[in-house]
């Protein structure tokens, strides 16, 4: 159970688990080690797991018809990641989920999650809370993309997530923010000149 303590701590921030509930929860989990550049989800395959990052960094992205990649989400320690549409509806994925660093994940598969919610209804509350938070975050990001300039989006990301910006490759950050790596370099150079 010690191996799963971080996931238990995360759940306990949203719902309180008894020792028995925590033990049952952890009996349904698995630990997965992934190497940098390894995929845990790929398009056309059904996403089987919801993944909690214990250590490392991951990103979810799609490739458009022009071969351009678009980063949809990052996940670092204490965050969850998946192709949620594929996972929830058990249909083929549209996203790649890739390790940006060697990573350690705790995973729960779809059937285990369904069983968990059926046998311990308080987990329905937990998964509802994290789903609502994800939805709210996605909406904020969408509104930011529609209403803010590229530079404002960059500033907002740097203010909220400096540790992610320091860890992920520049091209993934540019793709997340919706512009080219060259444009990101221009913004960064402009900021540096202001400081000097």
Query: Global pTM?
Result: 0.91
Average pLDDT of the segment spanning 11-35: 96
Q: Is 86 exposed, middle or buried (0-12, 13-18, 19+ CB in 10 A)?
A: buried
pLDDT at 19 over 60: yes
Amino acid 196: pLDDT: 62
Q: Which residues contact 115 (CB under 8 A, 6 or more apart)?
A: 28
Average pLDDT of the segment spanning 167-194: 89
Q: Which residues contact 154 (CB under 8 A, 6 or more apart)?
A: 177, 184, 187
d(CA 37, CA 81): 15
Match 């990101």 to its residue by tokens: 184
- pLDDT digits over 73-88, tens only? 999 999 999 999 999 9
Domains and CATH numbers, the chain: 2-120 (2.60.120.10)
Average pLDDT of the segment spanning 13-30: 96
């Amino acid at each position: 159970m010690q191996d799963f303590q971080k996931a238990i701590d995360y759940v306990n921030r949203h719902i309180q688990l008894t020792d028995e509930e925590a033990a049952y929860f952890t009996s349904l989990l698995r630990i997965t080690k992934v190497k940098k550049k390894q995929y845990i989800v790929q398009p056309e395959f059904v996403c089987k797991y919801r993944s909690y990052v214990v250590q490392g960094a991951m990103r979810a992205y799609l490739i458009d018809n022009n071969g351009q990649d678009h980063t949809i989400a990052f996940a670092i320690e204490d965050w969850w990641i998946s192709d949620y549409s594929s996972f929830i509806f058990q249909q083929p994925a549209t996203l790649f989920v890739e390790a940006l660093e060697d990573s350690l994940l705790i995973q729960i598969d779809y059937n285990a999650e369904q069983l968990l919610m059926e046998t311990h209804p308080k987990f329905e509350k937990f998964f509802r809370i994290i789903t609502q938070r994800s939805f709210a975050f996605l909406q904020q990001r969408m509104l930011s993309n529609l209403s803010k300039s590229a530079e404002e989006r960059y500033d907002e990301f740097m203010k909220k997530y400096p540790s992610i910006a320091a860890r992920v490759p520049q091209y993934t950050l540019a793709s997340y923010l919706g512009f080219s790596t060259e444009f990101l370099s221009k913004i960064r150079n402009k900021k540096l000149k202001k400081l000097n």
